Structure 1
Amino acid sequence: MPAQLAPFFPIIYVRGYAMTSGEIAETTSSPYMGFNLGSTKVRQSWDKKVQRHIFESPLIRLMKEYGYRDSFSDGSELEDRLPTKSIIIYRYYETADTDIGSGKTLSIPEAAAGLKVLIHTVKQQVCGDDKDLHKQFKVHLVAHSMGGLIVRSFLQNDKISNKADRALVAKVFTYATPHNGIDMAGVNVPGILGLWDINNFNRKKIAEFLGLSGKPERVDSLDGKFDPQRFFCFVGTNHRDYDVAKGLSRALAGEMSDGLVKIENATVADAPRAFAYRSHSGHYGIVNSEEGYQNLVRFLFGDVRADGSLTVEALPLPPSVQKAKDEGREIRASYYFEATVAPRGAFSFRLTERRRDTFSAILRSYDELLRADQTNLAAPRSPVLFSVFLDTTKITVGHTLVFSLELAVSSTGYTIDKKFWPDQHVEGEYLFRDTLIIRITRTAEGFNVRYLNTNEKWSEATGTLANKTADGYTVPLSSNKGFKGNLQLAVQSL
């Protein structure tokens, strides 16, 4: 019987941007380019003792839990056969090192062309003369920061790759990649700023090396060259702990960023994404995090995907504001939607976390939610709360996938006749707040989806069967204040 490769294809890691010659030298001196870096953080237990949580690194965890191995032996990279479960580090920075290479830093298109060569080399090393393996062969590409732009340049630029080359890529996972460039103090990095190749993050330059036509305002589209559903974006939301340039970067990037990349610039259009309170790099960085690893392995190897969005039916007003509205005064408000998802048994991580206090909550105006016709929208702009990938092999009890969803809806505040209204009500008061437990069981007909509200029941309860619809499952939501809506769940096997 021929060997089955999927889903455990070789993993190629593409590291991010190294600015100075010193950083380049440090990068080339590392055999795993940062994929081997872990972290230690603490949490408080029930008895008030501080406990350490040690994350050993993506590299070690992939080796220990999935049987992957590196591609080095006796101080050199393996040049003969590679096992399917191999982790290969794309060492494109070596040409820029004066000891190992020529001292010339590759452009992003040049690095992308080198990635293409590497993929074909790995294919030959894994498959040899086995025709069946050649038919099955693919790779997973994992990239941090600028590495994701190198991956996209390979996937999207017709001068670098063709359809057959791109077909060798199964999935792409990016950490903190500036898919729509980098903005500092609200301004895109200038294209003329060639020092240390910082202009790589100018949108016009990005459009050039991606091969995008025209002058697009945003450059975060895969342009039909690769399926965005096979492209995952992991986004950091902690700007405070990014210490590069003695804090100047985080000051210029500001809130709603990871200290370098703005949240709104860190995703690819139409691709699944997750968010974590992590910075761009460093001890609290996004690559060396449990959250990043758990999303990575579930996306690459998981077998179930669940997407959640929220449709809103009623957004109540505080009594004093409602009174003003009834008097015919103009009321304006926008709303935050917070969503945090964690699988059952997860004590030290969340799969995704969007919160108001970390400036990562979803923001929608009243008109976008309930008066789409007045905003030139074809339909209400319902917030997409999460896209999570799950793995039935990780179930420890029974046959059901279980995860929690902490969901909250609040207002940014109200204006009455264009003046902010702080009287009587408390700013930021929640209209809805609850933790839902979602249970997904695979059946012969598809899935059985149940839910329960932990404000009303213990999470151990079986819960209520979700309403089945043509597009998935519906969970009704309401609060005593008058909020009404529906959690729309789409569940699919992978």
Structure 2
Amino acid sequence: MLKPPYYPIIYVRGYAGTQEAVEDTVATPYMGFNLGSTKYRQTSAGKIEPYVFESPLIRLMKDHLYQDAFHDGQILPQGPVSPRSIWIFRYYDVVSKGLGNGERKEIEFHAEKLRQFILHVRSATGQDSNKDFRVYLVAHSMGGLVCRCYLQNKDIPDLEGKPPGDWKKKGVDKLFTYATPHGGIEFRKGFGWLEGLRDFLAINNADNFGKTRMREILSLEKNLPLHSLNNRFPAKRVFCLVGTNSQDYGISRKVVGPKSDGLVQIENAYVKESARAYTFRSHSGAYGIVNSESGYRNLERFLFGDIQVNVSLETLKIKMPGKEKNLSATYDIENNVSIRGLPIPVNKRTKDTFSSSFRSSDTLEEERTHLFTSFLLKTARLNKRRQSLGFSIHFRILPLYHQDKRFLPDRHYEGQAVFDDRLIIEVSKGGDSRFKVRYGWGSNNFKATKNLEFKVDKNNLSTAVIQLNQHRPVNMTAAIRFEVSAWN
């Protein structure tokens, strides 16, 4: 019997730019979901040793007892198959000269085939009579656009063959995307002409990543941004993993530039109002985002986690240092999120990787800065007797000062971090099912001893605020806002 949160997982791979890439893709059963990585990592003893990440496919089998849906050599496995199974949507088979007719298809075609594939998974797992049938969609790059087309396009019906309406009738519980160009693929300054040429020539459907074609694919009017779900699917049930390593991808990194994963710019890699995390990985390859442990740790917690935590920074006020005249500043807000027991951070936004939150002194107080969204998983606790789930946030606020001189050139210089500390959080549930949170600061011996007082709204969202008030190195006040809710 199908038991949440262990729904069938369907993996949808990314774009294959050439026919050779198509043939290489269809020659592998798992289309990249089986690829891991072996890279050097420093141990707690200071040694540099190779570290093996087996792959998201293997880890889901090891950690969560998922089964491979393939059996008896069937490319479209027939039942019975366990609902706790992993399926590969092989949409490039029809494009292959060996397995298909060698002709490129539009994303709308693949999205309709995805609908049919979900119906097959429902049947093969013995869920035809289950009105609450759901799957998880996990997609890389263009695969995320195929999934969004299925969920958003007004011409693609639900599983009952009726015009789209209630999102639940699409049979999708959650969508997780790796490096998907939700806002399109744009080129750096000076290469706009090449972007226009790509969309005009549309070689191998490359125009799918341009604004005009994406609006058709996603049924979006001109007044809506490309990263909008247009109320077709709940944004809170989407997680976007954003890559920030622009140096370890192919030649496209030259025209896309920094602030990207080498192909997709950071600001285009997430859905509006979705959960998201940032990781120093490139679009694909040896240092790719799919075959990363940070990607897997976010994936498993989003799919199977017990608690959702949203953290943001608001009402931030920073006083200028000294008595200099005509002094202004911009700020980079970094944050690095670690979950107790994990060897890697699950979210890392830094100035060096151009992924920090950038604010001017004019917008600092007005804008709420979203730091991160994370999901905590009870079964991943190292100490099973410990009731609380712990994580920490190391965040820094780095200023860049600008002094306007009337007769001399302007002077720009970096200042000392106006804030640099680690926040320790312990989350648990009391006997009354209300969330309890204790916190502390790294500058205070890393002890979470203070209690947060929560307010609970009608949707059972628990909200609390930590007030910051410091006087050195500069006067600064701010509020760290926590939103905690049950997940799954």
Instruction: State the TM-score, normalizing by the size of structure 1.
Output: 0.90
Residue equivalent to 1:232: 239
Are residues 1:257 and 2:243 paired? no
Tell me by how many angstroms 1:332 deviates: 2.8
Deviations 1:150-181 (A, max 9, x none): 00000001101223675310000000000010
Structure 2 equivalent of residue 377 of structure 1: none
The two structures, once aligned, show a CA RMSD in angstroms of: 1.8
Q: How far apart, CA to CA, are the structure 2 residues paired with 1:93 and 1:197?
A: 13
Give the residue type in structure 1 aligned to 2:239.
Answer: F
Q: Which residue of 2 aligns with 1:364?
A: 359
CA distances 1:254-288 after superposition (whole Å, capped 9, x unpaired): 11100000000001111111000000001110000
Contact 2:455–2:463 (CA under 8 A) maintained in structure 1: yes
Q: Which amino acid aligns with 2:387?
A: H
1:334-413 paired onto structure 2 within 5 Å: 334-347=330-343, 349-370=344-365, 380-397=366-383, 398-413=386-401
Tell me the residue number matched to 1:147: 143
Change (3 A) 1:393 1:73: same
Contact 1:413 1:420 in 2 (8 A): no
Aligned-residue offset at 1:462 = 3.8
Partner of 2:424: 437
Q: Is 1:493 matched up with 2:482?
A: no
Partner residue in 1 for 2:440 = 452
Structure 2: distance between partners of 1:427 and 1:80? 62
Matching residue of 2:200: 192
Alpha-carbon distance, 1:411 to partner = 1.3
Matched, 1:223 2:230: yes
Aligned pairs for 1:220-299 (under 5 A) are 220-242=227-249, 244=250, 248-299=251-302
Tell me what 1:464 maps to: 450
Moved more, 331-340 or 114-123: 331-340
- What is the aligned partner in structure 2 of residue 157 from structure 1? 153
User: How big is each residue's C-alpha offset from its partner over 1:9-28, in whole Å with a ceiling of 9 and x where there is no partner?
Assistant: 00010000000111000000
Which amino acid counterpart does residue 435 of structure 2 have in structure 1?
Answer: F
Contact 2:425-2:448 at 8 Å conserved across structures = no
Q: Tell me the equivalent position of 2:161.
A: none
Deviations 1:118-143 (A, max 9, x none): 011111111256x3xx1231000000
Alignment coverage as a number of residue pairs: 462
CA–CA separation in structure 1 for the residues paired with 2:438 and 2:168: 39
Residues 123 and 137, structure 1, Cα contact 8 Å, conserved in 2: yes
Give, in whole Å, the separation in 2 of the partners of 1:491 and 1:477: 20
Deviations 1:301-329 (A, max 9, x none): 0010000001234202221xx331xxxx3
User: Structure 1 residues 184 and 197 mapped into 2: Cα distance closer, same or farther (>3 Å)?
Assistant: same
CA distance in 2, matches of 1:127, 1:165: 22
Amino acid at match of 1:127: G
Name the CA distance, whole Å, in 2 between partners of 1:312 and 1:417.
Answer: 30
Residue 250 of structure 1, CA deviation? 0.9
Offset at 1:450? 1.1
User: In structure 2, do the counterparts of structure 1 residues 469 and 412 end up closer, same or farther at CA, with 3 Å as the change threshold?
Assistant: farther
**C-alpha offsets along residues 222-278 of structure 1, whole Å, 9 cap, x if unaligned?**
001000000111100000111x2xxx2112111110000000000111111100000
Q: CA separation in 1, counterparts of 2:415 and 2:115? A: 50
Give the Cα separation in 2 of the matches to 1:189 and 1:15. 23
Q: Distance in 1 between matches of 2:182 and 2:273?
A: 13
Residue 415 (structure 1) aligned to one of 392, 403, 407? 403
Matches within 5 A, 1:50-69: 50-69=48-67
Cα distance in 2, alignment partners of residues 276 and 128 from structure 1:
36
Q: Are the equivalent residues in 2 in contact too, given 1:127–1:137 (CA < 8 A)?
A: no
In the TM superposition, 1:158-173 aligns within 5 A as: 158-161=154-157, 162-163=164-165, 167=169, 168-173=171-176
Q: Give how far 1:463 is off.
A: 1.8
Match of 1:209 among 217, 235, 240: 217
1:28–1:91: 8 Å Cα contact kept in structure 2?
yes
Task: Please give the per-residue CA displacement for 1:197-236, whole angstroms capped at 9, x wherever unaligned.
Answer: 21110011000011112x2473110001000000111100
Greater fraction helix? 1
- CA offsets, 1:354-399, max 9 Å, x none? 11111100011212123xxxxxxxxx21100000011122223311
Uncovered stretches (5+) of structure 1, i.e. residues with no partner? 371-379
CA distance in 2, matches of 1:285, 1:428: 34
Q: Secondary structure at the match of 2:287?
A: coil
Q: For 2:263 and 2:15, locate their aligned partners in 1 and report how far apart those are by CA, in whole Å.
A: 12
User: Identity of aligned pairs, percent?
Assistant: 39
Structure 1 residues 105 and 411, CA, compared in 2 at 3 Å: closer, same or farther?
A: same
Q: d(CA) in 2 for partners of 1:101 and 1:164? A: 34
- Partner amino acid, structure 1, of 2:82: P
Contact 1:474–1:489 (Cα < 8 Å) also in 2: yes
Of 171-180 and 68-77, more deviation after overlay is shown by 68-77
Q: What amino acid does structure 2 have at the position aligned with 1:358?
A: T
Q: Residues 8 and 445 (structure 1 numbering): CA distance in 2 closer, same or farther, change over 3 Å? A: closer
Cα distance in 1 for partners of 2:109, 2:382 equals 46
Q: For residues 178 and 193 of structure 1, what CA distance do their matches in structure 2 show?
A: 20
In 1, the alpha carbon distance for the partners of 2:39 and 2:186 equals 30
Identify the residue that residue 69 of structure 2 maps to in structure 1.
71
Contact 2:26 2:90 in 1 (8 A): yes
Instruction: For residue 236 of structure 2, give the secondary structure of its aligned residue in structure 1.
Output: helix
- Quick one: which amino acid aligns to residue 225 of structure 2? R
Kept in 1, the 8 Å contact 2:127–2:133? The answer is no
1:71 to partner: Cα distance: 1.7
What stretches of structure 2 of length at least 5 have no aligned partner? 158-163, 457-461
- What amino acid is the match of 1:351? V
CA distance in 2, matches of 1:155, 1:39: 32
